A and B are shown apart, each in its own frame.
Chain A
Amino acid sequence: MSKEWPLWEVFIRGAHGMSHRHVGSLHAANAEHAIRNARDVYTRRNEGVSIWVVEAAHIAASNPSEKGPLYDPARDKVYRHPTFYDVPDDAGNM
């Protein structure tokens, strides 16, 4: 038989209310097994209070070759940042 266990991506939420963050991957036979392994591999030092796992094959990702068309249009839109707008000092705190 000898079939390799599928690859899972692991996401952990720390104790301080941040979003789940990708921390790495591991192999496991199913989701339950993946969570158990993730606990041993990625939370040995109190790194988290919640674990998500998703089979790597189920992740759809953007293509690196589309970097230009996807992200370049945001470059020249500085007016989306508050620092674009000068507010006179005597207008008070804003």
Chain B
Amino acid sequence: MYAQMIKSEATEDDPEKLAAFQARIDAGEKIEPKDWMPEGYRKTLIRQIGQHAHSEIVGQLPEGNWITRAPTLERKANLLAKVQDEAGHGLYLYCAAETLGVSRDDLTEQLLSGRMKYSSIFNYPTLTWADMGAVGWLVDGAAIMNQVPLQRTSYGPYARAMVRICKEESFHQRQGFHIMMAMVNGTPEQKRMAQDALNRFWYPALMMFGPSDKDSVHSAQSMKWRIKMNTNDELRQKFVDETAPQAAYLGLTIPDEALTLNEDTGHYDFTQPDWSEFHDVLADNGPCNVERMSARQKAWDDGAWVRDAMVAHAEKKRARKVAAE
């Protein structure tokens, strides 16, 4: 998902306080910034929300790549609006993380130094216009699977950010599907491009949910705290079940010969992605890791004088106003 492999932090708190905290969560109450919370809950959330925010911000890069080359003015306007939304989503999430006592600059520096990660999916290149379709349809589609249940997460600011994000996100998936529809109904070459994009993005999209965590203690703790609502396998299955008929509608073939509807379970059987590739991408060895991070570093460095100038200007104006009074 946008937040992958989040380890829950150990917690060493007063057992009585912990029990009262758990009781509030079990009763469906929201935890708010000033409420008492276990140190582990706070730290796990900072890591999870931070990683989610970083994913939104880095996620602008593969799509930003195509804004100047969109095939029509309308497609360009759609894509621009979508990328602007991703920036907005990153900002909502950074603010939610900041309520837990971490600063914005600190989060950025942790991303740039590699101490915090972003989703593995954004380390894949977007080679053709059809990739804009595949990213919207599959990548945003996979993200929605996780984000919809997170609207009910126990941490108030995170839940509220998720509500805003979900409201905006379904446009993203649809604009991607719309691109795919245009491609499959175009020339044979365009249909081939659509199939090629699906071939390249299918398994990376499945990896977004992370490896199976049905036996993970970290996931169990996060689910108890209601900061993780479903297991990775549940969400992946839901994604495959929804996406397979959509691919059929497009007349495209999912690159998995084992993919079949299992009459007994009512779910699709499918092949797991190559998890060694996933771990390799997380270890900074994906096709675009270096490029993504250098783009973020450059934006941060090149923007430094603007950030400083804004503060200097604001201070000068404030001083003038005080002098005039």
Chain A residues packing against B (C-beta within 8 Å): 1-5, 7, 23-27, 29-30, 33, 40-41, 44-45, 61, 63-64
Contact = CB atoms under 8 A, between A and B. Distances in A.
Contact of A29 (B91, B168, B304, B310): B310
A49 B88 CA distance: 19
Nearest to B91: A41
A4 B314 CA distance: 13
Contacts of B307: 2, 5
Given A2-B304, A24-B161, A41-B88, A29 B311 contact: yes
Given A2-B307, A4-B103, A29-B314, 15 more contacts: A1-B308, A1-B311, A3-B308, A3-B311, A4-B104, A5-B307, A24-B95, A24-B164, A26-B91, A26-B95, A27-B104, A29-B310, A33-B314, A61-B34, A64-B36
Interface of B: 32, 34-36, 81, 84-85, 88, 91-92, 95, 98, 103-105, 160-161, 164, 168, 304, 307-308, 310-314, 317-318
A30 B105 CA distance: 18
A41 B87 CA distance: 8
A41 B307 CA distance: 18
A64 B104 contact: no
A7 B93 CA distance: 14
Nearest to B310: A29
28 contacts: A1-B312, A2-B308, A3-B311, A4-B103, A5-B307, A5-B310, A5-B311, A7-B95, A7-B98, A24-B92, A24-B95, A24-B160, A24-B161, A24-B164, A25-B95, A27-B104, A29-B311, A29-B314, A30-B317, A30-B318, A40-B88, A41-B88, A44-B85, A44-B168, A63-B34, A64-B32, A64-B34, A64-B36
Contacts of A27: 104
> Shortest 9 CB-CB distances between A and B: which pairs?
A29-B310, A30-B314, A29-B314, A25-B95, A1-B308, A64-B35, A64-B34, A4-B105, A3-B311
A24 B93 CA distance: 10
A92 B240 CA distance: 60
A39 to B, nearest CB: 12
A25 B32 CA distance: 15
A32 to B, nearest CB: 9
B162 to A, nearest CB: 12
B20 to A, nearest CB: 12
Nearest to B317: A30
A27 B311 CA distance: 11
Contacts of A63: 34
B32 A33 contact: no
B92 to A, nearest CB: 6
A62 to B, nearest CB: 9
Contacts of A7: 95, 98
A70 to B, nearest CB: 14
A5 B91 CA distance: 14
Contacts of A5: 307, 310-311
Contacts of A45: 168
Contacts of A29: 310-311, 313-314
B155 to A, nearest CB: 14
Nearest to B81: A44
Contacts of B88: 40-41, 44
A26 B161 CA distance: 13
A3 to B, nearest CB: 5
Contact of B84 (A1, A4, A44): A44
Contacts of B35: 64
Nearest to A33: B310
B96 to A, nearest CB: 9
A69 to B, nearest CB: 16
Nearest to B35: A64
A61 to B, nearest CB: 7
